[in-house]
Structure 1
Amino acid sequence: MSLNIRLCSSSAFLGLAFILGVWFINPVYAAQNEIAKIDRIVAVVDQAVITEHELAERIRTVTAQLKKQGGAGLPPDDVLEKQILERLINDSLQLQLAAQTGLRVDDAQLDKTIERIAEQNKMTVAEFRKELENEGISYRKFRDDIRSEITLARLREREVDNRINISEAEVDNYLTSQASRGEVQDEFEVSHILIRVPEDASPEVLQKQRSKAEQALKQLTDGAPFAQVSASMSDAPNALEGGSLGWKTASQIPALFVDALKLLQTNQLTPVLRSPNGFHLLKLTNKRGGSSPLVIEQTHTRHILIKLSEVVSESEAKHRMDTIKERLDNGKDFAELARQYSEDGSAANGGDLGWVNPGDTVPPFEQAMNALKPGEISAPVKSPFGWHIIQVMERRKQDMTKDAARVKARQEIRARKADEAYQDWAHELRDRAYVDMRLEDKY
């Protein structure tokens, strides 16, 4: 059985590659009964070391991932080894920084994450643990890996994501740019290779990196699988996962990419593209139109709430509501009774909640509200907050496309700025560190 082991599904992006922040541990570990070899050190990373066993284990995992993606052929062993060692070095530096600055994932947080992973696999934790053992995965090692992945994600949130600010002017400019390009609806399924160019690179370094990008393009045009070339040559954070970015709207990727992708047919490649970050190669896997206008039904509603508490029992609250409902039925003004009796924050406004969108309220409230015609008043309704009496005042169809577009634009601006900031932060951390690579000692 193949386990689905995911820590999160949305909203985080990693590096220039704009990939969705999905972390997973592939169920490929060394057999527990394998005879242990002398564990050589292959890299010293500040106060930590990376051993040959750790490197070999990660190589097995990544190799299995690439094979699962259907890529025919793998990068040469020495190339793959160096790529994976770089990933381990970056992870080690970030985990050390997390430890030094007091960022910890306690057992309770870890247990909740593992419970969620088990649920995704439709198992209890006990069943999930048993399945791990059946696939040769040490549960202790699995917990350690998941703890590390959570730590890395939270470190990025603290050091990068939470420091990103977006102004209303940025959102306005973003939407104006979208409209002028006429590409708001376009979505691309794309894969990406990055050949990074350092800041202030010399002409010699620039030419070397350009030649590397041209070499990668030649391998692809000669028929090499994209995932293989990505794993061998790309500097993008998702290089070892095949370079896939998944589906991206035109507004989620740079205009440079969009302009190049517009000229492609499915499964075609771009030429080498140049940006301030380096050289890029893109493959268009598919293309489709985007979402349709968002029109929803809004309800203008008001309510009276009696909360439950240690002092007010459910039966007492219900009795009070029945009394209020009787007074409403006898012609008393709803707003006046709301101001007098309601325990909700809307009481001062006569219980008026304004225009309510689908999903804004808890299900029992929404179901009762939806059953009413304008002007009607509900019987007492029980929700987690207490007892309500609801009146629907009017309904309307509202085009929320612009509002939704602003929310989406803000999310996409944040993701792009966080991508760039994370990439720069990770490279600065690497440049400041003491790293002694000892791969040559193996041979």
Structure 2
Amino acid sequence: MFKLKPLVAAAGLVAILGGPAMAQNLFAPIATVNDSIVTEFELQQRIRFLSLLNAPGATRKAALESLISERLRNEAVRDSGLEVTEEGVNNALEEFASRANLSLPEFIDVLSQAGVDRETFRDFVVNAVTWRDLIRARYGARVSISESEIDGLLSTQGSGASNLRVQLSEIIIAAPPEEAARVGAIAERIADSKSTQEFSSFAREYSATASRDAGGRLPAQALSDLPPSLQPLILALSPGEVTQPLNIPNAVALFQLRDIQETGVSAPVYSSIEYAAYYLTGGRSAETLQQAANLRAEIDVCDDLYAFAKGQPEGVLDRETKAPGELPQDFAIELSKLDPGEVSTALTRSNGQALVFLMLCSRTAEQNAEISREEAANTIRQRRLSGFADSYLEELRADARISIK
């Protein structure tokens, strides 16, 4: 939708566009594009039309470039043999007028009062429609969109109030029931860590997560990516301090804040997290961990897990979509570290007898919560086709004979 400029302002363009010299020969060519010409009249009309729409490009230089591009597009459409019906033209004109909340006759009347010829409006719209149809016909078959690309779009474009990024180190210690007291004592000792070096040493010795080899150090991440229950605990820390032990199923977790920074960009806020949890019998035994590693090498997306779960007891595979605050805390902690398609094997269930093969399927940004996958796919498709259109136009321009008077 656009807003038309007041008619008095549009009418005033007549005086702005040029003096007597320009009015002497409005139909003299001011540019040639191959065998086509662009006249002074067309240029003045285009500037007046764009200004009335309050659109960018309502300058002499930009409007001339627009008309030259239009000539190139018209030639390409003509050479392709593509035609548009009169019914299709009228539909396009009516749709354009509706963006200003006007009927087609009302819109044309506004144009007429502003000194814009109906054919100027028609040429502008028809060129856009036929060029769009040509690009779809020429490049549509080349545009394939994967489910992961749709997931990627849905997980972006949201903004939250928080623009804080944190650098954390983690330790998650397996704590089956028979080991709970011993692990609890270790966790209390870790909570008293006085330096990042000491915490890292504990991580290498005790942690069950993939980060243990890096001393528990995690990459910097947005505070809003952390589980909602963990965010206030981290904000309460000063750099170097450690959370109190957090009891999660069959494990204890501790986090150390290394640094906190304020960025100039707000982080996304997610409305939902989709994940898959595949349960492998054997807990954290070497054999089960190797089985998990083998499985990870064979799958790319959550859907791939269904083939491995087929024929097994119900409940061996959970696929869920939940709001961040509804996730189990240990799942939320692990999922916050993952990108779609990545896996964690840090957690267990059934008193440590089942290893959780936890995979992040997708995140949906709060801003995109109401966007369907089909709408997301169409957005990606239009971006791709727009890229093809820009490249094709540059190719046409490079091959053309263009002269500006």
- TM-score normalised by the chain length of structure 2: 0.39
Larger Rg: 2
